[in-house]
């Protein structure tokens, strides 16, 4: 009996600039995403939140963050 597994291939993160969270999001490539945000925000860094998770779980977390008032924007591709 085989169990199908869903890959845990998505990171959750906060992008911080000057100790302030300016973006909350998900990605499958932290280094690329950090470079994109640094370009867009003129500096800053990513703080990974927890372990890698499934894309569905990460999307749920991202929606919850938005409902709590965290800054989220879906301008950049995953």
The tens digit of pLDDT for each residue in 15-70 reads: 999 999 999 999 999 999 999 999 999 999 999 999 999 999 999 999 999 888 88
Helix (H) or strand (E) holding 20: strand 20-27
Residue predicted with more confidence, 29 or 76: 29
Task: State how far the Cα of 56 lies from the Cα of 72, in Å rounded to an integer.
Answer: 17
pLDDT at 69: 85
Task: State how far the Cα of 60 lies from the Cα of 64, in Å rounded to an integer.
Answer: 6
pTM, 2 dp: 0.84
Contact (CB, 8 A) for 50 and 78: no
pLDDT at 77: 46
Task: State how far the Cα of 25 lies from the Cα of 12, in Å rounded to an integer.
Answer: 6
């Amino acid at each position: 009996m085989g169990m199908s597994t869903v890959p845990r291939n998505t990171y959750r993160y906060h992008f911080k600039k000057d100790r302030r969270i300016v973006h909350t999001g998900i990605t499958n490539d932290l280094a690329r995403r950090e470079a994109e945000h640094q370009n867009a925000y003129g500096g800053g860094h990513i703080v990974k939140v927890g372990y890698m998770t499934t894309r569905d779980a990460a999307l749920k977390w991202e929606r919850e963050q938005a409902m709590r008032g965290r800054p989220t924007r879906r301008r950049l591709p995953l």
